[in-house]
Amino acid sequence: MATPYRALLARPGAIRLAAGCALGWLSFTSYALAIVLATEGATGSFAVAGAAVAAFAAASAALAPVRGRLVDRRGARALLVLAPLHAAGLVLVIVGCAGPAWAPVVASGLAGAVVPPVIATARAAWVEVAGPELTPTAHALNAALGDVAAVAGPALTGATAALLGPLVALAAVIPGAATAALLVALTAPDSSRETQPPSSPHRFWGVLGESPGLRTLAVCDGVLGLAFGALDVAVPALAREADATGAAGVPLAAFALGSVACTLWVGATRRHAPAARYLLGTFVVAVALPLCLVFASLLGVTAVLVFAGAGFGLLNVALFELLDGVAAADRAVEALTWLTSAQGAGLAAGAAIGGLLAHRGAHDALFLVAAPTLLTAAIAWGRRAGLRVQVAA
């Protein structure tokens, strides 16, 4: 399994790009907890903390396609403009924590509005850095780094907050995100484009309006986000009911473990076309997550989530590869940011609705974990033909 990854990292610029991805994922997965801890610690209000995170997430998701379009038009060095603006926004959040309750909320929205699309830019850059043979392996490595960061980022943030204070934990995220943007911007080939992409007839929707396949992926990502948003609430609720609050992170870590293992395996083998792997991944998730309703204990859900994580790893790598077929190369960054927006909207809605259901019991919240996965599989199967359409670069 190690041979394709060894060959990939031997490519010029690959280690630097991988480091940028790792730092980017680590920073982005830490934002929510870091903002919550900092604002709650300063204001004493979880309501304010929740509003700050919501403002950050909403601004980030709403403007992600705009930032992606900027990078597609101006090249990867546009990250070097967005990164300092984003860092300044996070500094304002820290400063705002000493002011009135609305200050960190507004500052969080400003910081979210200018998040540099590091991972989307890196995904497009891997195509050229890795070459045709190793591009799927590169996408798998990128996805695996995201899975590891989803566990490591919040854990490091929590530990930093406990040892040094919540404001220090938020401050620690700033250099990581800025360094990630710098590494990716300096590594991405042809960082400044010689020609502008042709103007799109879909001025607002951009590449999303041009590509039926991308619309299918965006809808699936949004619906699946409902399930994962609810899962983030249902698992802690289940742990609370079992009087094992300290073990709430174990099931989610099991999900990440299954995803990382499957992702790395797929990147080393690639036995099937990405469209087939994407469909298979949605089916595995659609079978696994409803089983949480059957095995509704903390141990049972942990076991099920290893299986569900493997399915997610399968579809996530395939999704990265499918983007090369459903969107032209000069729209690659914007394409992934549309998926980021769709998934972010789904996660937010799933967490909000799941939280309401969890008040009645964790089992009720698990229904919202199960149902969207079945719909996702149905949509992916019904629209499968569009996932195989290749567009000209």
206: which DSSP letter? T
Cα angle 279-281-286, degrees, rounded to a multiple of 5:
95
Q: Which residues of the chain have pLDDT under 50?
A: 191-196, 199, 202, 390-393
Asked whether the domain spanning 206-393 has the same topology as the one spanning 1-192, the reply is yes
| Phi then psi dihedrals of residue 270, to 5 deg | 50, 60
Count the Cβ atoms, other than its own, within 10 Å of residue 22: 20
Which CATH class, in words, describes the domain spanning 1-192? mainly alpha
Give the length of the chain.
393
| Phi then psi dihedrals of residue 288, to 5 deg | -75, -55
197: which DSSP letter? P
Q: What is the pLDDT of residue 3?
A: 82
Q: What is the pLDDT of residue 235?
A: 84
CA distances from 349 to 231, 233, 256 (A): 12, 11, 22
CA distances from 90 to 20, 22, 94, 157, 169 (A): 19, 20, 7, 15, 12
CA distances from 18 to 135, 199, 231, 266 (A): 13, 32, 29, 18
Determine the Cα–Cα distance for residues 265 and 152; give it in Å rounded to an integer.
21
Cα angle 232-320-34, degrees, rounded to a multiple of 5:
35
The structural domains of the chain, with segments of one domain joined by +, span 1-192, 206-393
H/E segment holding residue 389 = none
| Phi then psi dihedrals of residue 211, to 5 deg | -120, 110
Positive/negative CA dihedral, 218, 220, 224, 226: positive
30: which DSSP letter? T
Question: What is the CATH architecture assignment of 206-393?
Answer: Up-down Bundle (1.20)
3-state class (DSSP) for residue 385? helix
205: which DSSP letter? T
CB of 349 closer than 8 Å to CB of 275: no
Determine the Cα–Cα distance for residues 246 and 227; give it in Å rounded to an integer.
23
Residues 6+ apart with CB under 8 A from 161: 34, 37, 41, 168, 169
CB of 258 closer than 8 Å to CB of 309: yes
- Half-sphere exposure at residue 340, Cβ-oriented, CA atoms within 13 angstroms: 27
Positive/negative CA dihedral, 58, 345, 296, 248: negative
- Half-sphere exposure at residue 233, Cβ-oriented, CA atoms within 13 angstroms: 28
Could you tell me the two tokens for 112?
């979210």
| Phi then psi dihedrals of residue 195, to 5 deg | -130, 150
Q: What is the pLDDT of residue 200?
A: 52
Cα angle 53-361-313, degrees, rounded to a multiple of 5:
60
- Select from 294, 267, 70, 89 the least CA-distant residue to 174: 89
